Amino acid sequence: MFGFTGLLLLLVLILYTVTKSLAGIHAAQNLTFIWGLPGGSFFLASFVFGYFSSNASGSSFLTLPAAHFEKWLCGVLIAGILYPVIFLIFYRIIDSSFVTLYHHSLDPASPFYKQQYESVYLFDFNSILAWKVYPMFFFLTGSMLVGALYFNKTAFIKTAILLCVLLLFVFGLNWLMAATIFGHINDAAPFNHVTLPVGKEEGSLELPSGTVNFFNYSIWYFFPAILWLLSYTRLREKEF
């Protein structure tokens, strides 16, 4: 697991460096955080319960002198706690290094020095983007923990394909229902809004804030919690 974690961190560093060269520091910060935290945990979780790729390794894992709760807890600690902590520390180190290098590369005598200096800053773990990524992390990691126990082989690929199919189905069904009700539409987001053409302008129909919050908390927190608990139930089924 530490070997896979080291590989993921190396990929994070490469992604940050390449994106910074092509699109700048802000794009590198955002893209690396989005892919590194939920994406890395999703990949690592595929190996946490990857003992069932063969009968021999699966039997060996199930006969370990530990309760199924302890085995499940080990997987949760690796994918759900240790990796995020290690990633956030590593991310802060590389982000601080690149931001510091940028600040030192500026010319203090330039009339735009203060503006250029303040335009680049450390990624805020409490920003709006970060709080959109955290639920993605819980959802994707929970999905992969379940997928690794349901798909004995190539769980990463099969679970990723299944999630893509489900996502396309939800958006497609939502678009079809919105088009059936309102006719021509410009955009439709599930449980959020529908954008309609109004002459040469656009109008948006949105759910009440209370209803939107209910769906958001259900999708991003309640449903992922069910997935994490479902992986525990599935591991118990494996032992029987």
pLDDT digits (tens, 9 = 90+) for 160-180: 999 999 989 988 998 888 888
Torsion of CA 217, 222, 225, 230, to 10 degrees: -150
Each residue's pLDDT expressed in tens, for the chain with a length of 240 residues: 778 888 899 999 999 999 999 998 999 999 999 999 999 999 888 888 776 666 666 667 667 777 778 888 888 898 889 999 999 999 999 999 999 998 888 888 888 888 888 888 899 999 999 998 999 999 999 999 888 888 878 888 999 999 999 989 988 998 888 888 888 888 888 877 788 888 778 888 887 878 878 888 888 888 888 999 988 888 777 665
Q: Give 53's DSSP letter.
A: G
Q: What SS3 class is residue 206?
A: strand
Q: Which residues contact 96 (CB under 8 A, 6 or more apart)?
A: 122
For tokens 């092509």, name the residue.
22
pLDDT digits (tens, 9 = 90+) for 187-196: 888 877 788 8
Q: Which of 169, 167, 163 is nearest to 141 (CA)?
A: 163
Bridge partner residues of 188 (DSSP): 194
pTM of the model: 0.84
